[in-house]
Amino acid sequence: MKLPPSARFSTVCIHAGQVPDPSTGAIVTPIFQTSTYVQEELGKHKGFEYARTQNPTRSALEANIAAIEGGTAAFAFASGMAAIDAISTLLQSGGHVVVTDNTYGGTFRLFDKVLTRYGLEFSYVDTSRTDLVERAMRPNTRMLFIETPTNPVMRLTDIKATADIARRHGARLVVDNTFASPVVQRPIALGADIVIHSTTKYLNGHSDSVGGVAIVTRDEDVQWLRFIQNAAGAILSPLDSWLVLRGTKTLAVRMAQHNANGQALAEFLAGHPKVSQVLYPGLPTHPQHDLAKRQMNGFGGMLSFDVGTFEAARHVCNGIRLMSLAESLGGVETLICHPASMTHASVPPETRHAIGLTDSLVRISVGIEDAADLIDDLQQALA
């Protein structure tokens, strides 16, 4: 098997980074569950010395994801947060970072409670407004860290425009692409320097692994991430690397179904009398629908909707039968959650309300079941 340079996206997902195992011909990269590698003689080995530093299963996954996102190299970590922590070490004390104000709570916690102790400064900005991003830039701004769409209010940031601002100010643009997936959004093609994923979500896609990956483009970042992955050691395990590698093979087909089901549920909810608002970039009522059409390929499997009162939201969350009430997202099975009391419970109410995260908002990670079954389930839960 040889991947032609002209290979298209779904072919890249299945084959990039993988060759049949040279010792057996196994078509699937094995799980190299080993801590060390025997050396033939002093100073002579096969490129593998110790498994924190190099593991063939992890290397195959990293090459696969680098190709999928169109980066120079990728580095796999024990969780999405470990990947974000690793790229934060590109910063030095005295540096300033502009961050999407409605960023994932774990990212905010790392920045606000840990990294500020090391002389880093963070400004939280509504990055959907490029004028506010421009205004937040300072001479010591070294990084722009954005999420688009945001969780759970589905606000978008213009990646290309933000990349231009970053470049003009000599800062790196980092995009957390977890919510969209590389099928729906290609930040590096739009000018991003670094892409982050919690592989726990769409890349693995089967709700059975926790992991993270950083995809980088600059040679100096490749060198540093390779160094820090070994120096700090928050590596992804061989089994988890194998699970994610299996997940990416079906990424393109899974995302096509997530996109189709997301659109179908959004349209159903938009027409339901008990739903006052649906937040989904694929609806013409979304305030940034034009930007979504420009920068997304399909609109993803995440949506939120407002049912007017907390009591009504509770009624829906407790009333679903096929869907499961759970945090997380991106798996083949549909999950429903109440962000105000679950994923965003630690966000102060006034901050939640300022970004439109009401107590009556319900979020769905739309899976790949038959959309008609999901609609039936919502229909009865809303009744």
Ligand X SMILES: Cc1ncc(COP(=O)(O)O)c(C=O)c1O
| The only residue of 71, 152, 212, 247 in contact with ligand X, by rule CB under 6 A | 212
Which of residues 79, 181, 248, 257 is near ligand X by CB under 6 A? 79
Beta bridge partners of 75: 214
Residue 339 touching ligand X (CB under 6 A): no
Tokens of 237: 């395990």
Nearer to ligand X by C-beta: 3 or 332?
Answer: 332
Q: How far is the CB of 224 from ligand X (least distance, A)?
A: 21
**Per CB under 6 A, 158 contacts ligand X:** no
Matching residue, tokens 């580095």: 75
Pick from 29, 178, 237, 259: which binds ligand X (CB under 6 A)?
178
Residues 67, 81, 225, 252: which binds ligand X (CB under 6 A)?
81
CB of 160 to ligand X, least distance (A): 20
Query: What positions carry a catalytic annotation?
Result: 52, 104, 176, 201
Amino acid letter, residue 44: K
127-156 binders of ligand X (CB under 6 A): 147, 151
Contact 327, 343 (CB under 8 A): yes
Token digits of residue 309: 């009162």
Neighbours of 46 (CB within 10 A): 11
Tell me if 108 contacts ligand X by CB under 6 A. Answer: no
User: What is d(CA 230, CA 29) in angstroms, rounded to the nearest whole number?
Assistant: 22
Torsion of CA 346, 154, 101, 330, to 10 degrees: 60
Per CB under 6 A, 85 contacts ligand X: no
Tell me how far apart the alpha carbons of residues 144 and 123 are, in angstroms, rounded to a whole number. 10
Footprint of ligand X on residues 17-76 (CB under 6 A)?
A: none
Nearest CA among 171, 142, 137, 144 for reference residue 158: 144
Q: How far is the CB of 199 from ligand X (least distance, A)?
A: 7
Cβ 331 to ligand X, closest distance in Å? 12
Closer to ligand X by CB, 157 or 200: give it: 200
Q: Which one of residues 210, 232, 260, 312 is an interface residue with ligand X (CB under 6 A)?
A: 210
Note whether 342 binds ligand X by CB under 6 A.
no
The pairing of beta strand 302-306 with beta strand 361-365 = antiparallel
Summarize the chain as % helix, strand, coil (round to 5). Answer: 40, 15, 45
Tell me if 80 contacts ligand X by CB under 6 A. yes
C-alpha 71/C-alpha 73 separation (Å) is: 6
- The least distance separating ligand X from the CB of residue 134, rounded to whole angstroms, comes to 24
Q: CB-based burial of residue 342 (10 Å sphere; 0-12 exposed, 13-18 middle, 19+ buried)?
A: middle
Could you say which of 185, 200, 241, 295 contacts ligand X (CB under 6 A)?
200
Q: Note the residues at the interface with ligand X (CB under 6 A).
A: 79-81, 104, 106, 147, 151, 176, 178-179, 198, 200, 210, 212
